[in-house]
């Protein structure tokens, strides 16, 4: 690759659309929201940027910290489940016959073709008291003559609790985990695995000592791609959650809608941004460490 | 929401109605009509217009209506706050009409272009939130109440059934709109729906937190679906939503609890910066027509503020206490009043209730 300094015109011509896009659709709106987080509401419509820190101070009230903490553990748990399910899927796709792979990848991407809202409503139809899953379980129950032995089937309450929120999040974000894992596992040099097995390591040891460290960049990218949007999620807790399903994304939405307090909403959004930056720094740290250890 | 029509407006009566709309149009200066393209952008609630109203309006005037939908007033307000993205007619509820007038977001109406204003029922000809009806015209009105399954719930006549719901634990849904839910809790405790008294607010918050363990979910305007699908037996909902599902399930019913409730009024308004104000006036005039109004009321089963339209409706509609509550019930209900302080306090309280 030539240095950009030798061909400045080509560099700027090709870079311009990207720079323009970044500035107009990312930096400027983000800058406006950031400025607003230091503002005060002066009337129904107007916000004055006064440089106040009151919004951030308010964000550290116990009730918001409690909600942020809840968002973090729900997201972390969903993210871990996502990883645990996605890893074998990605592995399976990589080790399947090459002509199957495009089809299998397509199946992973397919849900993207349907709107998120509709997918979430579909989950409601599956999990509700008189939904598909309960009907299926009732059918099994009656098939096994349990209704004669124990009594009629009692439908499971699968919706409107934290479990439903976690299932919904895992379902929605699964492709974001599978794809980066697939990308790294595909590039994995299988001779390392063979060498490890030849030298007497068990499958278990090989997996933990060779495969996982080598695919760590994919794992970290997947976690970041999934965990951060999960933190800001509001649709899934809204539709599948019960009375205490509120996550920080819901509070932010509320500030921009019903409460009409954009400065406070902006401050809460930027708190999430700061968490994101922390996560990215962590990624850089882990990335450099795993490179050092395995020597790739 | 599927709905079974019980009465279809005949073709002729629609034509008769549109004749009235044409008379309205002739009052407009010819030039301004010629300048405006035949389009109208309508921002409305879901399932909140007659089945064929937009098509009928189009065949009467040649104006093509594009309708977008919103789920709550907050969404409407947020969308218009930073400038009108191109809507000509919107349908805010009374407290938001008040708020939008205060913020200078609504166009003043030219009453001379809306002769069908004569059809409006006397009680709605003027409004405290919009003196002289300068910015808004009444569309539909109604109450908040209990939608319930008759075979399962016997005590729906009091808010106690849903706010202190031991008897139906886990089978109850409340609205997802905190401002209304807290207002109802205040009503149940014997205070005003609009109270911002700290002691009253605190009592309402504690009541809701204590009752929360019996609530299945805070439904975002889909309580009627939860009720119809058997997910809950009792829900706090808007009357029209419940009446729509009652048409499909005999076991469902609606009641305004004895402690009183919220009385709301949705209005049609023209937001500032509307690209087609002439067409918007024509549309407002059209929906206030007797036949067009009757067709809308028949589809959506809310109480119309259009007296001429009501007169054309069947006894089944006008005599339905769920749609038109008795005067004693109305006397105990209150409208929601706009105040920035109230909005802020309720929003904070609602966050605490949900996090508890």
Per residue in B163-205, pLDDT tens? 999 999 999 999 998 999 999 999 999 999 999 999 999 999 9
Do the chains contact at A244 and B356, CB–CB below 8 Å?
yes
Beta carbons of A191 and A106 less than 8 angstroms apart: no
Q: Which of A243, A248, A259, A261 to probe the B interface (max B CBs under 10 A)?
A: A243
CB-count exposure of residue B190 (10 Å: 0-12, 13-18, 19+): exposed
Q: How far apart are CA A119 and CA A111, in angstroms?
A: 8
Q: Which residues of A touch B181 (CB under 8 A)?
A: none
CA-nearest residue to A128 within chain B is B231
Instruction: Report helix, strand or coil for A119.
Output: helix
- B37-58 burial by CB neighbour count: b if 16+ within 10 A, else e? eeebbbbbbebbbbbbbbebbe
User: CB-CB: which of B72, B78, B212 is closest to A243?
Assistant: B212
Whether B46 contacts chain A with CB within 8 A: no
Do the chains contact at A257 and B352, CB–CB below 8 Å?
no
**Lowest mean pLDDT segment, chosen from A199-208, A285-294, B76-85, B327-336:** A285-294
Conformational region of residue B181, where left means phi above 0, alpha means psi within -120 to 50, and beta covers everything else: alpha
Question: Which is more confident, A80 or A3?
Answer: A80
Q: What is the pTM of this model?
A: 0.84
Q: How far apart are CA A217 and CA B321, in angstroms?
A: 65
First to last CA, chain B: 33
CA-nearest residue to A247 within chain B is B355
Ordered alpha helix ranges (H), B5-149 = 11-26, 30-35, 53-61, 73-81, 94-102
Q: Give the ipTM of the model, two decimals please.
A: 0.85
For B:116-175, CB contacts with A below 8 A are: 170
Place of tokens 């933190």: A231
Place of tokens 């090459």: A98
pLDDT tops 80 at residue A223: yes
CB-count exposure of residue A98 (10 Å: 0-12, 13-18, 19+): exposed
Is beta strand B172-175 parallel, antiparallel or unpaired with respect to B89-90?
unpaired
Instruction: Report helix, strand or coil for A50.
Output: coil
**Lowest mean pLDDT segment, chosen from A159-168, A178-187, A276-285, B121-130:** A276-285
**Lowest mean pLDDT segment, chosen from A113-117, B37-41, B105-109:** A113-117
Orientation angle between helical segments B340-355 and B198-211, nearest 10 degrees: 30
User: CB-CB: which of A129, A244, A258 is closest to B74?
Assistant: A258
Q: Which residues of B touch A242 (CB under 8 A)?
A: 215-217
Q: Which residues of A touch B170 (CB under 8 A)?
A: 157
Question: Which is more confident, A204 or A288?
Answer: A204
Do the chains contact at B347 and A256, CB–CB below 8 Å?
no
Instruction: Report helix, strand or coil for B221.
Output: coil
Is beta strand B136-149 parallel, antiparallel or unpaired with respect to B303-304?
antiparallel
Q: Which of B207, B354, B356 to probe the A interface (max A CBs under 10 A)?
A: B354
Q: Which of A257, A261, A262 to probe the B interface (max B CBs under 10 A)?
A: A257
Residues with Cβ within 8 Å of residue B193, at least 6 apart in sequence: B183, B184, B186, B187, B262, B334, B336
Do the chains contact at B217 and A63, CB–CB below 8 Å?
no
pLDDT tops 90 at residue A279: no
């Amino acid at each position: 690759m030539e240095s950009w300094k030798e061909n400045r015109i080509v560099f700027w011509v090709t870079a311009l659309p990207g720079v323009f896009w970044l500035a107009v659709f990312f930096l400027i709106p983000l800058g406006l929201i950031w400025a607003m987080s230091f503002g005060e509401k002066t009337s129904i419509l107007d916000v004055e940027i006064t440089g106040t820190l009151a919004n951030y101070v308010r964000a550290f009230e116990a009730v918001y910290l409690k909600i942020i903490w809840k968002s973090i553990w729900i997201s972390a748990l969903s993210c871990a489940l996502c990883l645990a399910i996605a890893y074998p899927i990605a592995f399976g796709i990589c080790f399947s016959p090459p002509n199957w792979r495009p089809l299998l990848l397509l199946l992973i991407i397919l849900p993207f073709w349907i709107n998120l809202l509709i997918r979430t409503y579909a989950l409601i139809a599956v999990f509700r008291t008189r939904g598909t899953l309960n009907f299926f379980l009732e059918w099994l129950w009656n098939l096994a003559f349990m209704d004669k032995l124990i009594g009629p089937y009692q439908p499971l309450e699968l919706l409107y609790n934290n479990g439903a929120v976690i299932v919904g999040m895992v379902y929605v974000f699964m492709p974001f985990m599978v794809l980066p894992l697939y990308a790294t596992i595909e590039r994995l040099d299988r001779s390392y695995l063979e060498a490890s097995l030849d030298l007497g390591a068990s499958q278990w040891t090989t997996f933990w000592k060779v495969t996982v460290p080598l695919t760590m960049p994919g794992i970290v990218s997947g976690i970041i791609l999934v965990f951060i949007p999960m933190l800001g999620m509001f649709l899934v807790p809204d539709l599948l959650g019960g009375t205490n399903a509120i996550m920080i994304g819901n509070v932010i939405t509320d500030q921009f809608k019903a409460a009409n307090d954009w400065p406070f909403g902006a401050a809460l959004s930027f708190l999430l941004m700061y968490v994101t930056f922390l996560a990215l720094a962590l990624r850089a740290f882990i990335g450099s460490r795993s490179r050092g250890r395995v020597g790739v | 929401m599927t709905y079974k029509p019980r009465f279809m407006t005949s073709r002729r009566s629609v034509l008769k109605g549109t004749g009235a709309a044409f008379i309205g149009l002739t009052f407009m200066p010819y030039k301004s009509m010629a300048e405006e393209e035949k389009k109208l952008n309508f921002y409305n609630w879901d399932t909140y217009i007659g089945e064929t109203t937009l098509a009928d309006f189009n065949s009467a005037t040649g104006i093509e209506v594009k309708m977008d939908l919103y789920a709550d007033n907050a969404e409407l307000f947020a969308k218009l706050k930073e400038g009108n993205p191109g809507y000509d007619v919107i349908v805010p509820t009374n407290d938001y009409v008040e708020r939008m007038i205060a913020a200078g977001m609504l166009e003043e109406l030219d009453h001379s272009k809306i002769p069908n204003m004569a059809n409006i029922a006397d009680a709605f000809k003027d409004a405290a939130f919009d003196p002289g009806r300068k910015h808004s015209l009444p569309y539909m009105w109604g109450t908040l109440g209990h939608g319930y399954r008759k075979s399962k719930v016997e005590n729906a006549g009091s808010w106690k059934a849903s706010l202190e719901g031991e008897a139906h634990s886990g089978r109850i849904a409340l609205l997802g709109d905190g401002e209304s839910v807290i207002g109802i809790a205040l009503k149940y405790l014997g205070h005003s729906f609009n109270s911002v008294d700290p002691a009253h607010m605190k009592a309402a918050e504690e009541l809701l937190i204590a009752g929360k363990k019996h609530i299945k979910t805070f439904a975002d305007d889909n309580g009627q679906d939860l009720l119809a699908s058997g997910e809950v037996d009792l829900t706090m909902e808007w009357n029209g939503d419940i009446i729509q599902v009652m048409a499909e399930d005999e076991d469902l019913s609606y009641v305004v609890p004895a402690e009183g409730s919220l009385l709301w009024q949705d209005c049609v308004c023209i937001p500032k910066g509307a690209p087609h104000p002439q067409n918007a006036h024509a549309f407002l005039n059209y929906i206030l027509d007797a036949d067009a109004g009757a067709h809308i009321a028949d589809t959506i089963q809310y109480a119309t503020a259009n007296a001429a339209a009501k007169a054309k409706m069947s006894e089944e509609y006008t005599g339905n206490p769920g749609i038109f509550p008795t005067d004693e019930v109305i006397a105990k209900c209150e409208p929601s009043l706009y105040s920035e302080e109230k909005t802020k306090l309720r929003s904070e309280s609602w966050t605490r209730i949900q996090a508890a």
